[in-house]
């Protein structure tokens, strides 16, 4: 019973992280029609920025709160998303999909190498603090940490805010208009470039929160963690249906459940978690290419 309880806690924690990453992938693809394969690397720069800011603040203002460093890191990653959209991804908006794919994969490599080179001792793992210490509930040898509670609460809050933003604000209406028909949006005097900048900021901020939670959950930050985070977030988005926020959440829950099950049932299951995840992605693409909640669009030529 205790083992089952522990696996449920792990499932909830992973679902929260995957959902925040998958929402970013789906939002970017739904609006810009580009798969941003460096999204995981952008998200996982947040822990490094947070620790660098925290160390700098500690030197200038002893006793400076970690919360300030976290807020700064989230904002900086959001701005980084805008910069990447303006100077790189915008140029591939109307290019063949393969060009955007290669460019974003290369961008991820650049980000990882910059962290490895510029961050002190960046090639090695660094400890990352538990953002919310303590246990909220204990059951024998199993405890539900406040960190997992915070992860679920923040994920739910961000999903609610994003839903309100997209469906109850003028800017959200413009974003949905551009995602459906960019040419018609231009005829309605909507500035697509502004929409793209806002979309990249929102997706990058959401990814930064996921990156901070991911680093805190595993207890360390590593320059190459963005590869795994990005692949898992993208897989969850594909399973649920790229471009569909609800699908991203459902896909994250399904992927996290499978991930947890593999690690719990099979000996050395952690070594096979990515294999099983991608087998599921392949099966979804074969039997339901649009994803669990996606809809197949038929174009007449």
pLDDT in tens, 103-151: 899 999 999 999 999 999 989 999 999 888 888 788 777 788 999 999 9
Question: Of 66, 39, 63, 64, whose CA–CA distance to 51 is shortest?
Answer: 66
Domain-located, residue 282 = no
Domain-located, residue 231 = no
Q: How far is the CA of 24 from the CAs of 59, 92, 94, 186, 204, in angstroms?
A: 34, 19, 20, 24, 7
Distance, CA of 175 to CA of 30 (rounded, Å): 10
- Give bridge partners of residue 126 from the DSSP assignment: 221
pLDDT in tens, 38-70: 999 999 999 999 999 998 887 666 556 788 999
Distance, CA of 171 to CA of 198 (rounded, Å): 9
Domain-located, residue 252 = no
Domain-located, residue 254 = no
Which stretches within the chain are classed as H helix?
Answer: 2-32, 39-43, 46-60, 66-87, 97-118, 146-168, 170-180, 182-187, 192-218, 225-240, 245-265, 273-287
At residue 204, the pLDDT reads: 95
Question: Of 74, 25, 72, whose CA–CA distance to 251 is shortest?
Answer: 25
**Is residue 287 classed exposed, middle or buried when 0-12, 13-18 and 19+ CB atoms within 10 A define those classes?**
exposed
Alpha carbon 137 to its chain's center: 28
Across 239-254, average pLDDT: 90
Domain-located, residue 284 = no
Domain-located, residue 164 = yes
Across 195-220, average pLDDT: 94
pLDDT of 169 strictly over 70: yes
* 3-state secondary structure (DSSP) of residue 127: strand
Distance, CA of 208 to CA of 39 (rounded, Å): 10
CA dihedral for 95, 98, 102, 104, sign (positive or negative): positive
Domain total in the chain: 1
At residue 276, the pLDDT reads: 84
pLDDT of 301 strictly over 60: no
Domain-located, residue 240 = no
pLDDT in tens, 258-283: 988 888 887 777 777 788 888 888 99
At residue 199, the pLDDT reads: 93
Range of the domain at 200: 2-225
The pLDDT-based confidence of 299 (bands split at 50, 70, 90) is very low
Give the whole-number percent of the chain exceeding pLDDT 70. 94
Distance, CA of 172 to CA of 174 (rounded, Å): 5
Compute φ and ψ for 220, nearest 5 degrees: -155, 165
Domain-located, residue 149 = yes
């Amino acid at each position: 019973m205790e083992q089952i309880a522990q696996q449920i806690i792990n499932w909830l924690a992973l679902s929260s992280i995957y959902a925040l990453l998958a929402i970013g992938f789906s939002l970017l693809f739904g609006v810009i029609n580009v798969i941003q394969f460096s999204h995981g690397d952008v998200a996982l720069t947040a822990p490094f920025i947070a620790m660098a800011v925290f160390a700098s603040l500690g030197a200038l203002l002893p006793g400076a709160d970690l919360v300030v460093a976290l807020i700064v890191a989230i904002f900086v990653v959001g701005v980084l998303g805008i910069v990447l959209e303006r100077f790189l991804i915008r140029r591939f908006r109307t290019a063949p999909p393969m060009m955007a794919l290669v460019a974003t994969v290369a961008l991820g490599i650049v980000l990882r190498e910059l962290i490895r080179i510029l961050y002190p001792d960046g090639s090695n793992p660094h400890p990352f603090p538990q953002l919310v210490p303590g246990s909220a509930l204990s059951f024998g040898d199993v405890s539900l940490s406040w960190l997992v509670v915070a992860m679920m609460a923040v994920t739910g809050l961000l999903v609610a805010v994003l839903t309100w933003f997209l469906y109850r604000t003028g800017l959200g209406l413009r974003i949905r208009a551009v995602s459906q028909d960019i040419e018609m949006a231009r005829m309605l005097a909507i500035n697509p470039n502004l929409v793209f900048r806002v979309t990249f900021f929102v997706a990058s901020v959401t990814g930064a929160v996921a990156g901070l939670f991911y680093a805190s959950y595993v207890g360390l930050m590593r320059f190459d963690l963005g590869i795994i985070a990005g692949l898992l977030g993208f897989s969850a988005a594909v399973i649920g249906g790229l471009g569909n926020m609800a699908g991203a959440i459902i896909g994250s829950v399904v992927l996290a459940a499978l991930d947890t099950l593999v690690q719990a049932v099979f000996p050395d299951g952690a070594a096979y978690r990515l294999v099983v995840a991608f087998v599921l992605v392949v099966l979804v693409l074969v039997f339901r290419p649009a994803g669990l909640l996606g809809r197949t669009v038929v174009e007449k030529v």
